[in-house]
Amino acid sequence: MPTLLPQASEKPLSDQAAATNHGAVVSVRGSVVDVRFDHCLPAINSLLRVGESGQIVIEVMAHLDACRVRGIALTPTQGLARGMLVEDTGGPLRAPVGKQIISRMFDVFGHAIDHLPAPSDIQWRSVHRAPPSLSERSTKSEIFETGIKAIDVLVPLERGGKAGLFGGAGVGKTVLLTEMIHNMVGHQQGVSIFCGIGERCREGEELYRDMKAAGVLPNMVMVFGQMNEPPGSRFRVGAAALTMAEYFRDDEHRDVLLLIDNIFRFIQAGMEVSGLMGQMPSRLGYQPTMSTELSGLEERIANTQAGAITSIQAVYVPADDLTDPAAVHVFSHLSASIVLSRKRASEGLYPAIDLLQSNSKMATPGIVGDRHYKLAQDIRRTLAQYDDLKDVVAMLGLEQLSPQDRKVVARARRLERFLTQPFFATEQFSGVKGKLVSLQDSLDGCERILRDEFKDYPESALYMIGAIGEARKPGSAPESKPDPQPKSEPANAHET
């Protein structure tokens, strides 16, 4: 049998020099492979290669005894048999880094999967990296402005923090992510990295086309571990994406927006790997090391003196049970939760963020300031009062409310419409030019609405505008901007 050496295209998975440590396959049980080495055992997390061209890749997970190791295959194991020659590559899984990876799509091994030539002049770094130490982290809490009114006012994101995005299909999750990428790239000179963990190939292909059509691909990197790939591959793709993000933060000193969809699939892949390795399951079948594995990934997302990695993660909650161990451990790492509402989407109120269920740990006077904090509390109070009055309005009509309650309804409906916003990502579909609104303009608009300065304006004058000053333009007449409202509520809810 010929000696197995890595091909040129497989360079990231091996050292520059040819490996000399060889072993033989002892047993194969699905994705679990035991290998015997007579000379020296490869280190934990080392990659082993099997096959005539080394197409089967195995990561060492445990040392069984003085001459046997147990690994998890990162690729399908068809064709693997006992006695086959195994090559120790002498190093761990590596990810490509460098300016040349921007606008490209990769798999967990760093292979380009966008049907374009492989990028040249790139470096390769291990995906197993320690989080930045406390001495390297920035101790200042800063707000990450997105240019989206509803998020900046009521759910401010933390620069270098982690936000969870909760939403089903068709409520605008991808559009919201695309808009954040656009604003990050165009106005903050940052780079965006999308990490798909357990994504369907259809979703990845659609997202690639959407990003290309929206014009944000030139400052974006996409990494996918697809749903049909072995659990070991899905388990490591998040670490590969973070390695790329750390390069832009530490070497390029740029802010990075890291989008992860879906963080639950990372936990699920870890659970599969744990079960394959024969570990005793913990509560509800989760792996006993879930907290450590999730922390190892999340703690690398940090704000340092060089730059910041800000992460927005889609979070699937199993059976809508917020006490599920996976949800509990993810929540402990998040600094903000953005909940998307199908009801608001059906009313045409985009972005369809549920303003009352969404929250942020940054919304405190010490971080956002007294004015912003008090204004956000007033907005929430007004929206909560309107939510309580909706049933009365639906059954009896607006005329049965007291004058004070009618003013609350009018303010709340104007706030809801002002917090809608045309997106750059949807210009090609809606024909409406996207708007980027500064935090100051957003706060000023909400404050003036709460002071009833726009009580004589139709609600539609505030729908899908940018700053509040646009409500005075002739184009804001009711007939030029349709007013989305529930069928059960009267059209003249703004009258007092």
Which residues have a catalytic role annotated?
A: 173, 199-200
Residue 86 forms beta bridges with which residues? 23, 50
How many Å apart are CA 488 and CA 394, to the nearest integer?
5
Which residue bears the tokens 């995906």? 127
Burial grade of 101 (CB within 10 A; 0-12, 13-18, 19 or more):
buried
C-alpha distances (whole Å) from 14 to each of 41, 230, 398, 413 are: 16, 21, 71, 60
Which residues have CB under 8 Å from 269's CB, separation 6+?
A: 197, 198, 225, 231, 232, 234, 235
- Host H or E run for residue 199: strand 191-199
Alpha carbon 281 to its chain centroid, in Å, reads: 28
Angle at 158 between CA 128 and CA 337, to 5 degrees: 90
DSSP 8-state class, residue 96: E
Q: What is the DSSP letter of 233?
A: H
Distances (CA, A) of 268 to 60, 261, 272, 286, 339: 20, 13, 6, 8, 22
CB 181 within 8 A of CB 255: no
199: which residues sit within 8 A by CB, 6+ positions away? 224, 225, 226, 227, 261, 262, 265
Separation of alpha carbons 119 and 333, rounded Å = 34
Nearest-angstrom CA–CA distance, 94 and 37: 23
CA triple 454-153-474, angle to 5 deg: 35
Q: What distance, in Å, lies between the first and last C-alpha atoms of the chain?
A: 88
Please count the other Cβ atoms lying within 10 Å of the Cβ belonging to residue 336. Answer: 22
Query: According to the 3-state scheme, what is the secondary structure of 351-417?
Result: CCECCCCCEECCCCHHHHCHHHHHHHHHHHHHHHHHHHHHHHHHHHCHHHCCHHHHHHHHHHHHHHH
User: How far is the CA of 479 from the CAs of 77, 260, 463, 475, 493, in angstroms?
Assistant: 63, 41, 12, 9, 17
Name the β-bridge partners of 198: none
